[in-house]
Amino acid sequence: MNYPEKRLRRMRYNTILRNMVSETKVSVDDLILPLFVCPGIGVKKPISSMPGNYQLSIDLLIEECKKTIAAGVKSVLLFGIPETKDEHGHVACNADGIVQKAIVAIKKEIEDIYIVADVCNCEYTTHGHCGTIVDGDVDNDLTLETLTLQSLTLAQAGADMIAPSDMMDGRVAAIREILDDNGFEKIPIMSYSAKYASGFYGPFREAAESAPKFGNRNTYQMNPANSDEAMREIEQDLMEGADIVMVKPALSYLDVIYRAKNEFNTPVAAYNVSGEFSMVKAAGEKDWIDEKRVMMEIITSIKRAGADIIITYHAVDIANILKEQNA
């Protein structure tokens, strides 16, 4: 049957019916909010390229987490800005490291929150790369030593999930082993499995003070031209024990998200990264776009592509919109 008997527009005229047959629905349960914690008391340092985001001292971070929970978003992803840095990122492994202390403090104040701890070295090294440098490049196996110890101390502090973002080979297996050997076999790993060497990370590098002091990250982050390689990375991480795999960034890699979900039928996370966020904010501030509408369209596209979990700086704004829609 074809037009005029078959009219596809019949399903679009009524809002109630349109919502009934909606194939993709975003929920607050899908969302994780990234937050940045820094030393000090009463510190709320604006991130100029990410309007509405801040480096927060632990006392104000707790208050931000309470607001996040009140909005309906129950999970946060923590990044740390340390007081000092070193060549290897050892400062990230200390039991009294900035993120470790933040986790302990948050857990004391807030019961119903799920804390994901990012595991990497770029914020903690003097050179801004994601591991130990040997002959001008990140040494994979030496870096695993800091990543595993960092993961263990974060788990000991009370992290609910470990999320390695470094892109070193073998990191998932190494982290799984140290967690299991120390009684943390219940803690899941969400691996940044397909993390691309992307131009969309610029604002984050301001936020986390993690820009590399030399060169680039092309020897460990993925070539944006490749999706078959992403499937190999994801398969390897799953074989090593990853519970959730991630594609980062999200918007330019919807095809990779789709392939990951369809080929592996496993929980998939997508990171709606800082550059994606900042472009929407900048265009919205200039009234070039309807910011809320574009934000929801982007997040829906990420969910439609197959993401089960969406890490986004828009999380609280999305939660408020969903609350209004359901009122």
Q: CA-CA distance, 163 to 273, in Å (whole number)?
A: 15
Given a contact cutoff of 8 angstroms between Cβ atoms, the answer to whether 75 and 115 are in contact is yes
Residue of 66, 101, 213, 248 marked active site:
248
Q: Cα 44 to chain center, whole Å?
A: 21
Helix, strand, or coil (residue 146): helix
Q: Tell which residue, 34, 47, 157, 43, has the closest CA to residue 102.
A: 157
User: Per the structure block, which two tokens stand in for 168?
Assistant: 């070193």
Q: CA-CA distance, 148 to 171, in Å (whole number)?
A: 8
Give Cβ neighbours of residue 44 (< 8 Å, ≥ 6 apart): 54, 55, 56, 57, 60
Residue of 25, 74, 195, 323 marked active site:
195
Q: Catalytic: 292?
A: no
Q: Catalytic: 323?
A: no
Strands 54-57 and 44-46: antiparallel
**Residues 61-94: b if buried by 16+ CB within 10 A, e if exposed:** bbebbeebbebbbbbbbbbbbbeebeebbbbbbe
Residue 103 Cα distances to 29, 42, 216, angstroms: 21, 17, 31
Residues labelled catalytic? 195, 248
